[in-house]
Structures are given as C-alpha cells and as structure tokens.
Amino acid sequence: MKVDITLKVNGKLFQLSLPPSTTLLEALRDHLGFTGVKEGCGKGECGACTVLIDGKPINSCLMLAPQAEGKEVITIEGLSENGPTPLQKAFVEEGAVQCGYCTPGMILSLTALLNQNPSPSEEEIKEAISGNLCRCTGYLKIIQAVKRTTSGQ
Ligand code: FES
Ligand code: FES
C-alpha cells in the first residue's frame, strides 16, 4: 500500500507516492535525492539526519514522511542555495569539517540556534549540538566556528 503525499522541501513542493512507513530520511535521500541528509544510527542517537522542520531541528530518521506534510522542511542543500552561509564559512576556516559526515546536521542545529539567539553562550552552543555526534573534531573547532560567526570575524 502506498500513500500520496506532498512535501515542501527547501521551498519547493514535491509529490510522492510512498509506503506509509517511509521515514522522512528515506523520502529525502532515496526518493528526492537530498543526499546532504546523512544516515548514521537510524534510531535518533547521532543527529546526522538532522533537518529543520518549521525552523526546528529534528532527526529525520525518527519522523515518518507523511508526518511532514504541510510543514517547511529545510535540508543542508536549501540552506546554501545562495552560497555558503557565514556559519558554513566559519566551519571551513576553523577546521571544523573533518570527515564531514556530521557537518550537515551540525550546521542545521546551529543555524536553528543562531536564528533564535544570535549571541549564544558556550553552554547554549553545547546544548544546541547535544544531539549531534562528531567522532572527529572533539567539538572544540565546531564551538570556535560558532563563536567566529557571532563575533563577525
Ligand atoms: S540517523 Fe537519525 S539520529 Fe542517527
Ligand atoms: S567531522 Fe567527522 S564526524 Fe564530525
């Protein structure tokens, strides 16, 4: 059995016919080609699959695609349609991208934070990425990249 759904992703509408158990992660990656959305654990523990839903970061592996109908979904591809954002530039400048697997999710979680709070404290930065695991950077460079963005360097 399949259900017809319409998803709004990065400002564009997409019509899909999918089994109702399809996760948003599967719909985005496998059916719509948004491969910037990464699959890590598949069970809500790593944050690699983070997307923004109505501006809030969520794990797309835990949400069913039909649940995202009528909501604004933003992936990393939608964030950088007009070139890298200041936060993305700061990630590169601070060496906060190593293998890069966590990076889209990190950037989206931190973008949601900065949209809400343009001058977060270090604690608030850590809290914002508490659901995003990185096995490469030790997190320090990521935190420095956010500070670089907020200080306008
Ligand atoms: S793949 Fe979704 S939280 Fe790990
Ligand atoms: S840069 Fe490799 S997991 Fe974060």
**Shared-domain flag, residues 56 and 98:** no
- The CA 51 to ligand 1 mean position distance, Å, reads 11
Q: Are residues 75 and 106 in the same domain?
A: no
Nearest to 153 by CA among 93, 85, 97: 93
Long-range Cβ contacts of 121-126 (<8 Å, 24+ apart): 122/147
Give yes or no: residues 57 and 101 share one domain. no
- Domain housing 59: 3-79
70 CA from centroid of ligand 2 (Å): 32
Strands (E) located in the chain: 3-9, 12-18, 50-53, 56-59, 72-74
- 38 and 98 assigned to the same domain: no
The predicted pLDDT at position 81 comes to: 80
At 153 the pLDDT is 60
Task: Pick from 38, 45, 102 the residue to mutate for probing ligand 2's pocket: most ligand atoms within 8 Å of its CB.
Answer: 102
Output the pLDDT for position 82: 85
How high is the pLDDT of residue 95? 96
Q: Check if 102 has its Cβ closer than 6 Å to any atom of ligand 1.
A: no
CA of 91, nearest ligand number: 2
Indicate which CATH number applies to the domain containing 57: 3.10.20.30
CA dist 84 and 82 (Å) reads 7
Query: Do 109 and 63 have their domain in common?
Result: no
pLDDT at 152: 65
pTM of the prediction?
A: 0.96
CATH code where residue 115 lies: 1.10.150.120
Q: Is 131 in the pocket of ligand 1 (CB under 6 A)?
A: no
* Number of domain units in the chain: 2
Integer angstrom CA distances of residue 143 from 92, 140, 148: 13, 5, 9
Does 141 lie in the same domain as 123?
A: yes
pLDDT below 70 — which residues of the chain? 152-153
